[in-house]
């Protein structure tokens, strides 16, 4: 049966660990110059309903480095669900490509694609989850700190898709995830419940709070993301009023004695969720994270496509 990569909650914890181990070894080989094309002549169709720098470039270059090829389908071109149904697009693209990657607004669209496609479907960001980002983030923490289990990660800001990936994946991996969000911008309760159940098995934990100062006190890693995700643009002004206390700046960093690194999935809105001084500072892991999109996704592709 074909496998998809639509949401981290669909993975078994061992499967997430296997992907991370594969990413570590593939990255090591690539950096050492051992560059065997692991997916010769394989093809990836990439559907984008929203803009992208990292996802588009890292999948395109990743497929090339694996010996395959990626095709970019812009929002105007494909008009998913408008020009033709998701089911029809999925069946057609399955006849051309070995896998489909999709960046969508509604998570149900990527679920529908996976249902109708006969090839693996990868979620390149939906309003619910950003699983490829999660893999790159866990790879970054693993390589910076040498472990994931027992790492204390504090996320500050909006309870969005990126936080959902950190909650689910972090709970699988035995991490202690603290989410500091305004009360009206908490992660979805269903995601929190799933993460709590996973944390019970892994020895990790999930904590929600509205207090950013308390949230960073014990943290090893801080993480933030935009206050206004793609698709929420009309709420941007209102959100700018609510979130400033959650900005990662030098004053907040000074509240945590154990902070080793600061993360952001990018694009950053400097002066909003993160300051220049922190994004460009000594503890910024931002560029490792962006690089690891490439290595993490190459591992996801090999995991899904290799016979
Ligand atoms: N982090 C991330 O997904 O970046 P893009 O939106 O540029 O792809
Ligand atoms: N939460 C952001 C992530 C962008 C990579 C968004 O969905 O727009």
The one catalytic residue in 42, 56, 130, 152 is 130
Q: Which ligand 2 atom minimizes the distance to the CA of 160?
A: 1
Name the residue of 123, 124, 267, 288 whose CB sits within 8 Å of the most ligand 1 atoms, as the mutation to test its pocket. 267
> Given ligand 2 and candidates 102, 110, 162, 274, which is best to mutate, with the most ligand atoms within 8 Å of its CB?
162
Domains, the chain, in order of start with CATH, read 8-130+292-305 (3.40.50.1370), 131-289 (3.40.50.1370)
User: Within 6 Å (CB) of ligand 1, which residues are found?
Assistant: 52-55, 125, 133, 265-267
DSSP string, the chain: ----BS-GGGS-HHHHHHHHHHHHHHHHHHHTT----SSTT-EEEEEESS--SHHHHHHHHHHHHTT-EEEEE-HHHH-BTTTB-HHHHHHHHHHH-SEEEEE-SSHHHHHHHHHH-SS-EEES--SS--HHHHHHHHHHHHHHHS--TT-EEEEES---HHHHHHHHHHHHTT-EEEEE--GGGPPPHHHHHHHHHHHHHHT-EEEEES-HHHHHTT-SEEEE--SS-TT-GGGHHHHHHHSGGG-B-HHHHTT-TT--EEEE-S---BTTTB-HHHHTSTTB-HHHHHHHHHHHHHHHHHHHH--
> Which of 126, 285, 293, 300 has the most ligand 1 atoms within 8 A of CB, as the residue to mutate?
293
Asked if 133 is an active-site residue, the reply is yes
* Contact present, 177 and 204 (Cβ < 8 Å): yes
Residue 120: predicted pLDDT: 98
Q: Identify whether 35 is a catalytic site residue.
A: no
The rounded mean pLDDT for the chain is 97
Nearest to 206 by CA among 249, 159, 266: 159
Q: Whose CA is nearest to atom 7 of ligand 2?
A: 229
Active site annotation includes 132: no
Residue 158: closest CA among 79, 259, 265, 20 = 265
Q: Give residue-wise pLDDT tens across range 222-241.
A: 999 999 999 999 999 999 99
> Is 10 a known active-site residue?
no
Separation CA 11–CA 16 (nearest Å) = 6
What value does the mean pLDDT take over residues 132-144? 99
- Closest ligand 1 atom, residue 58 Cα: 8
* Share above pLDDT 90 across residues of the chain, in percent, rounded to a whole number: 96
The pLDDT tens digits of the residues spanning 24-56 come to: 999 999 999 999 999 999 999 999 999 999 999
Phi-psi region of 266 (alpha: psi -120 to 50; beta: other; left: phi over 0): left
Q: Which atom of ligand 1 is nearest to the CA of 125?
A: 3
CA geometry: angle at 177 spanning 136 and 240, to 5°?
85
Q: What's the pLDDT band for 290 if we cut at 50, 70, 90?
A: very high
Residue 266 CA, closest ligand 2 atom number: 5
Give per-residue pLDDT as tens, 77-112: 888 888 999 999 999 999 999 999 999 999 999 999
Residues with CB under 6 A from ligand 2: 125, 160-162, 225-226, 229-230, 265
Radius of gyration (C-alpha) of the chain in whole angstroms: 19
The predicted structure's pLDDT at residue 80: 87
């Amino acid at each position: 049966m074909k496998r998809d990569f639509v949401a981290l909650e669909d993975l078994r914890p061992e499967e997430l660990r296997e992907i991370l181990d594969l990413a570590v070894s593939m990255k090591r080989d690539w950096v050492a110059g051992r560059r065997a094309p692991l997916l010769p002549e394989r093809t990836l169709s990439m559907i984008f309903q929203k803009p992208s720098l990292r996802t588009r470039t890292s999948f395109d270059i990743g497929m090339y480095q694996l010996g395959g090829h990626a095709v970019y389908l812009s929002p105007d071109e494909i008009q998913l669900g408008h020009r033709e149904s998701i089911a029809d697009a999925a069946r057609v693209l399955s006849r051309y490509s070995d896998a489909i990657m999709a960046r969508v607004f509604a998570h149900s669209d990527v679920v529908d694609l996976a249902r109708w496609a006969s090839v693996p479907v990868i979620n390149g960001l939906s309003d619910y989850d950003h699983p490829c980002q999660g893999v790159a983030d866990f790879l970054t923490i693993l390589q910076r700190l040498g472990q994931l289990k027992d790492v204390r990660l504090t996320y500050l800001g909006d309870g969005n898709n990126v936080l959902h990936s950190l909650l689910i994946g972090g709970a699988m991996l035995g991490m202690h995830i603290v989410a500091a969000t305004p009360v009206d911008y908490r992660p979805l309760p269903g995601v929190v419940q799933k993460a709590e159940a996973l944390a019970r098995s892994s020895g990790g934990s999930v904590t929600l709070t509205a207090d950013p100062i308390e949230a960073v006190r014990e943290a090893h890693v801080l993480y933030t993301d935009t206050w206004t995700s793609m698709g929420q643009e009309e709420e941007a002004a209102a959100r700018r009023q609510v979130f400033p206390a959650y900005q990662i700046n030098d004053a907040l960093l000074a509240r945590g004695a154990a902070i080793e690194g600061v993360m952001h999935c990018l694009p950053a809105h400097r002066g909003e969720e993160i300051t220049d001084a922190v994004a460009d500072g000594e503890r910024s892991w931002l560029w490792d994270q962006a690089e690891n999109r490439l290595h993490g996704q190459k591992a996801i592709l090999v995991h899904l496509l290799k016979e």
